[in-house]
Structure 1
Amino acid sequence: MQHLEAIEKHGHRVLNTAQLAESFGTDAKIINRNFQRNAERYVHGKHYFALTGEELKQFKGSRQFDDSLKFTSVLYLWTEKGAWLHAKSLNTDLAWDAYERLVDEYYHVKDNVIPLSKDQALVTVLRTTADLVEGHDSLVKEQQKLKKLITDVHHKVEEQITLDHGEQRRVQKGVAVRVYEFTSDGKEAARLFRELYREIKDRFGVASYKDVKRKELQTALRYIESWIPRKVS
């Protein structure tokens, strides 16, 4: 993937229309046409940001744009979810492959940031909670509150845990078994692999099958077992 100049809006990485079109191997006019035809699906602040007026002027002044953007009166910046809608509209292997690379190599990359592990995040939350209750008059009551908060935080963390390596392998094995039930041809199998992984992401609303929640593993495996391709050559 070509090097992309990082653009951030409200703490999230975004891409302008020209960058998105180049990444997807298409033209900016196609991206704009997709947006116009499906405008009701796109939500401002969720799928895109539209900069105009003084906000656009300040944003332009903060970086060096190419000449094609110099005189634009409205600048669209696309979030990860907005890029997903465009990939869905284009629905080409090139667009889907580019979208996956954007998620892995652009949208989720943060410079000079070391993410906390799940255990570190839990410890941080618990320490913050303990600091908040420190100093209260009734130690017994606050200990009870803290215990409940710890339980609640633990449940919330568990709800967000994604598949570990072994669970990802179970999904991969399930996909392979299902695909080869339909074909033994290598080229056709490759197409079915792409189709099934794409539908898993669509079904569970994730950028990669690896992001499926652990609590949904059994549901995902059953979905794979019952999956039928759109067309078998």
Structure 2
Amino acid sequence: MNAINLQNLPKIHYQNQVVITTELLAKCYGAKEIQIRQNHANNRPRFVEGVHFFKLEGDELRAFKQINSREQTKPTLGDSISDFLGQFGLDFEVVDYAEKHRVDNIDSVEIASKVKSLTLWTERGAARHSKILDSDTAWDMFDRLETAYFHADRQTIPDETQIIIRNLQTELLKSRKRMDKVWRLHQAGFSKAESSRMLGVGETTVRKEHSTLKACGFTALPVGTQLDVFGGE
């Protein structure tokens, strides 16, 4: 069997999550569709509908096939409603039926017109099938599906950005502690110049942070309050 290119694998969305057909799952795992169906039938108690799979029949299947035969680049009803509400400053995300059941690349997903039912497997369902098949191919392909298919839209933060974020968090924490000490020194009667020397920062910094604290509504402490100026580290 030819190797599966997960980058070109058509992504199917149903009930606001990524799912995969029996046909595609079998191809990925190097198995036959009948194996996937038989494993499901033989282990039915281990598969919960709505958790591990969805079974589409009747009107829902007809609606699914009809919706996914349309061009997906066209605005959905949900897009139109959201745009309309946006004109009045209302920020709502409206997910309509078509959007919940869309297929990103319908040309690559073949659903026979006469099919009576369609099973769509969730990530948890795909994981369960890989365990039942218990082959090196199935285990390896599920790991790849997990990253390149089910969570392909999940954006990761680059290491450099994470370092910047951590540094900013550290600086914000230091600033918060310093502002606390600036205010305590002020309440203890120290001048801004004295506070500057005691904290080891410029007087301009002390003035700015003092002004910020006043703007935030900090008021004088009650008379007799014990001040631990350099506490709270």
TM superposition score normalised by structure 2: 0.47
Q: Which has the larger radius of gyration?
A: 2
- Structure richer in helix, relative to its length: 1
Higher RCO, 1 vs 2 (CA within 8 Å, ≥6 residues apart): 2
